[in-house]
Protein backbone atom coordinates (compact mmCIF):
# COMPACT_ATOMS: atom_id res chain seq x y z
CA UNK A 1 0.00 0.00 0.00
CA UNK A 2 2.82 2.40 0.88
CA UNK A 3 4.62 1.59 -2.37
CA UNK A 4 1.49 2.37 -4.39
CA UNK A 5 1.09 5.69 -2.58
CA UNK A 6 4.75 6.61 -3.19
CA UNK A 7 4.45 5.74 -6.89
CA UNK A 8 1.34 7.92 -7.22
CA UNK A 9 3.03 10.86 -5.48
CA UNK A 10 6.17 10.50 -7.64
CA UNK A 11 4.00 10.35 -10.79
CA UNK A 12 2.10 13.48 -9.83
CA UNK A 13 5.31 15.35 -9.00
CA UNK A 14 6.83 14.55 -12.41
CA UNK A 15 3.60 15.41 -14.27
CA UNK A 16 3.05 18.69 -12.43
CA UNK A 17 5.71 20.71 -14.34
CA UNK A 18 4.12 19.65 -17.63
CA UNK A 19 0.75 21.12 -16.64
CA UNK A 20 2.22 24.14 -14.84
CA UNK A 21 4.19 25.18 -17.92
CA UNK A 22 2.39 27.95 -19.82
CA UNK A 23 1.99 28.34 -23.54
CA UNK A 24 5.19 28.87 -25.48
CA UNK A 25 5.21 31.88 -27.78
CA UNK A 26 6.01 31.20 -31.43
CA UNK A 27 6.61 34.22 -33.67
CA UNK A 28 5.95 33.88 -37.40
CA UNK A 29 7.41 36.41 -39.82
CA UNK A 30 8.32 36.47 -43.48
CA UNK A 31 10.35 38.37 -46.03
CA UNK A 32 10.44 38.28 -49.81
CA UNK A 33 13.24 38.81 -52.29
CA UNK A 34 12.41 38.38 -55.98
CA UNK A 35 10.62 35.02 -56.32
CA UNK A 36 11.81 33.58 -52.97
CA UNK A 37 9.75 34.01 -49.81
CA UNK A 38 11.33 33.10 -46.48
CA UNK A 39 9.02 32.14 -43.61
CA UNK A 40 10.62 32.09 -40.15
CA UNK A 41 9.15 30.57 -36.98
CA UNK A 42 11.09 31.53 -33.85
CA UNK A 43 10.77 30.26 -30.27
CA UNK A 44 12.74 28.58 -27.46
CA UNK A 45 15.64 26.29 -28.29
CA UNK A 46 14.13 22.99 -27.09
CA UNK A 47 10.72 23.90 -28.47
CA UNK A 48 12.05 24.30 -32.04
CA UNK A 49 14.38 21.27 -31.82
CA UNK A 50 11.46 18.96 -31.04
CA UNK A 51 9.15 20.06 -33.87
CA UNK A 52 8.04 17.76 -36.69
CA UNK A 53 7.43 19.18 -40.17
CA UNK A 54 5.34 17.75 -42.99
CA UNK A 55 5.67 19.98 -46.05
CA UNK A 56 4.09 19.72 -49.50
CA UNK A 57 3.63 22.31 -52.25
CA UNK A 58 0.06 22.94 -51.06
CA UNK A 59 0.49 22.99 -47.25
CA UNK A 60 2.92 22.91 -44.35
CA UNK A 61 2.00 21.15 -41.10
CA UNK A 62 4.22 21.75 -38.09
CA UNK A 63 3.73 19.72 -34.91
CA UNK A 64 5.09 21.37 -31.77
CA UNK A 65 5.92 19.47 -28.54
CA UNK A 66 3.54 21.57 -26.40
CA UNK A 67 0.68 24.05 -26.67
CA UNK A 68 1.81 27.33 -28.24
CA UNK A 69 0.67 30.89 -28.79
CA UNK A 70 1.20 32.13 -32.37
CA UNK A 71 2.26 35.74 -32.99
CA UNK A 72 2.29 36.33 -36.73
CA UNK A 73 3.05 39.27 -38.98
CA UNK A 74 -0.15 41.15 -39.89
CA UNK A 75 0.29 41.02 -43.66
CA UNK A 76 1.25 37.32 -43.89
CA UNK A 77 -0.10 36.25 -47.32
CA UNK A 78 -0.99 32.60 -46.55
CA UNK A 79 -3.82 31.18 -44.44
CA UNK A 80 -2.75 29.78 -41.07
CA UNK A 81 -4.64 27.68 -38.55
CA UNK A 82 -3.33 26.79 -35.11
CA UNK A 83 -4.99 23.92 -33.23
CA UNK A 84 -3.48 22.68 -29.97
CA UNK A 85 -0.06 21.30 -31.02
CA UNK A 86 -0.32 21.73 -34.82
CA UNK A 87 0.23 24.80 -36.97
CA UNK A 88 -1.06 24.48 -40.51
CA UNK A 89 -0.10 26.89 -43.32
CA UNK A 90 -2.04 26.64 -46.60
CA UNK A 91 0.15 27.53 -49.58
CA UNK A 92 -0.83 28.82 -53.03
CA UNK A 93 1.25 28.95 -56.22
CA UNK A 94 4.48 27.50 -54.83
CA UNK A 95 6.99 25.79 -57.15
CA UNK A 96 9.49 24.50 -54.58
CA UNK A 97 10.17 24.63 -50.85
CA UNK A 98 12.99 23.86 -48.45
CA UNK A 99 12.84 23.75 -44.66
CA UNK A 100 15.58 23.62 -42.04
CA UNK A 101 16.17 24.27 -38.35
CA UNK A 102 18.73 26.79 -37.13
CA UNK A 103 20.10 27.71 -33.70
CA UNK A 104 21.17 30.95 -32.00
CA UNK A 105 18.36 32.05 -31.90
CA UNK A 106 16.37 28.84 -32.38
CA UNK A 107 14.21 29.10 -35.48
CA UNK A 108 12.55 27.07 -38.18
CA UNK A 109 13.15 28.48 -41.67
CA UNK A 110 11.06 27.62 -44.74
CA UNK A 111 12.11 28.95 -48.15
CA UNK A 112 9.33 29.05 -50.74
CA UNK A 113 9.92 29.57 -54.46
CA UNK A 114 6.82 31.32 -55.80
CA UNK A 115 5.33 31.05 -59.30
CA UNK A 116 4.96 34.11 -61.54
CA UNK A 117 1.21 34.11 -60.87
CA UNK A 118 1.80 34.38 -57.12
CA UNK A 119 4.27 37.25 -57.62
CA UNK A 120 1.65 39.19 -59.60
CA UNK A 121 -0.98 38.60 -56.89
CA UNK A 122 1.37 39.74 -54.11
CA UNK A 123 2.40 42.89 -55.98
CA UNK A 124 -1.27 43.72 -56.67
CA UNK A 125 -2.08 43.18 -52.99
CA UNK A 126 0.71 45.56 -51.92
CA UNK A 127 -0.51 48.23 -54.35
CA UNK A 128 -4.05 48.08 -52.89
CA UNK A 129 -2.85 48.84 -49.37
CA UNK A 130 -3.31 52.56 -48.60
CA UNK A 131 -0.22 54.61 -48.02
CA UNK A 132 -0.34 56.34 -44.62
CA UNK A 133 -0.70 60.10 -45.00
CA UNK A 134 1.19 62.56 -42.87
CA UNK A 135 -0.88 65.00 -40.87
CA UNK A 136 -0.55 68.46 -42.32
CA UNK A 137 -1.47 71.55 -40.28
CA UNK A 138 -4.64 73.42 -41.17
CA UNK A 139 -3.82 76.83 -42.70
CA UNK A 140 -5.90 78.74 -40.11
CA UNK A 141 -4.06 77.18 -37.18
CA UNK A 142 -1.50 79.40 -35.57
CA UNK A 143 1.63 77.80 -34.31
CA UNK A 144 3.05 79.08 -31.08
CA UNK A 145 6.78 79.37 -31.37
CA UNK A 146 8.65 79.98 -28.13
CA UNK A 147 11.03 82.93 -28.29
CA UNK A 148 14.41 82.17 -26.84
CA UNK A 149 17.11 84.65 -26.14
CA UNK A 150 20.06 83.70 -28.28
CA UNK A 151 23.58 84.89 -27.52
CA UNK A 152 25.10 87.34 -29.96
CA UNK A 153 27.46 85.69 -32.45
CA UNK A 154 31.14 85.98 -31.57
CA UNK A 155 33.22 87.68 -34.19
CA UNK A 156 36.56 86.14 -35.03
CA UNK A 157 39.29 87.78 -37.00
CA UNK A 158 40.72 85.57 -39.65
CA UNK A 159 44.15 86.32 -40.93
CA UNK A 160 44.86 85.37 -44.52
CA UNK A 161 47.45 82.68 -45.05
CA UNK A 162 50.18 83.58 -47.44
CA UNK A 163 51.24 80.95 -49.89
CA UNK A 164 54.71 80.84 -51.28
CA UNK A 165 54.52 80.49 -54.98
CA UNK A 166 57.41 79.41 -57.10
CA UNK A 167 57.75 80.78 -60.55
CA UNK A 168 56.22 78.29 -62.97
CA UNK A 169 58.21 77.15 -65.90
CA UNK A 170 56.47 77.42 -69.17
CA UNK A 171 55.98 74.10 -70.84
CA UNK A 172 56.53 73.51 -74.46
CA UNK A 173 53.87 71.55 -76.32
CA UNK A 174 56.06 68.49 -77.00
CA UNK A 175 57.77 68.40 -73.59
CA UNK A 176 56.63 66.04 -70.79
CA UNK A 177 56.59 66.90 -67.13
CA UNK A 178 59.20 65.12 -65.05
CA UNK A 179 57.79 62.39 -62.79
CA UNK A 180 57.36 63.34 -59.16
CA UNK A 181 59.68 61.39 -56.90
CA UNK A 182 57.97 59.96 -53.87
CA UNK A 183 60.04 59.41 -50.76
CA UNK A 184 61.17 55.80 -50.54
CA UNK A 185 59.64 53.78 -47.70
CA UNK A 186 61.95 53.10 -44.78
CA UNK A 187 62.09 49.61 -43.36
CA UNK A 188 62.85 49.15 -39.70
CA UNK A 189 63.84 45.68 -38.52
CA UNK A 190 63.51 44.88 -34.83
CA UNK A 191 65.63 42.04 -33.55
CA UNK A 192 64.49 40.49 -30.30
CA UNK A 193 68.02 39.35 -29.54
CA UNK A 194 69.24 36.14 -28.04
CA UNK A 195 68.23 35.08 -24.60
CA UNK A 196 65.46 36.17 -22.31
pLDDT, tens digit, for every residue of 20-56?
A: 566 789 999 999 888 899 999 999 888 898 899 999 9
pLDDT at residue number 75: 87
CA distance 126 to 34: 14
pTM (two decimals): 0.53
**12: cis peptide before it, omega within 30°?**
no
Q: Residue 77: is it exposed, middle or buried by C-beta count within 10 angstroms (0-12/13-18/19+)?
A: middle
Most confident stretch, 6-20, 77-91, 135-149: 77-91
pLDDT at residue number 40: 93
Nearest Cα residue to 69 out of 14, 8, 26, 32: 26
41, β-bridge pairs: 28, 108
Mean pLDDT of 99-109: 90
CA distance 38 to 108: 10
Which 8-state DSSP code applies to residue 58?
Answer: S
pLDDT at residue number 139: 46
Positions of E strands within 65-173? 68-72, 79-83, 86-90, 94-102, 107-114
Nearest Cα residue to 90 out of 58, 117, 54: 58
Residue 181: what are its φ and ψ, rounded to 5°? -90, 125
pLDDT greater than 60 at residue 148: no
Q: Which of the pair, 157 or 91, is modelled with greater confidence?
A: 91
7 pLDDT tier (thresholds 50, 70, 90): confident
Amino acid sequence: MKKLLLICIAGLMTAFPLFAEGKKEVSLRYSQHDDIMRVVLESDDNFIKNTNIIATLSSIKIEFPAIFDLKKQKDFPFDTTARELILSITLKNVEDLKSYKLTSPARLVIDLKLTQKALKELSALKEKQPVPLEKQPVPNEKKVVPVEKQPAPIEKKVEPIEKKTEPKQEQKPGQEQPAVKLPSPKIVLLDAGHGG
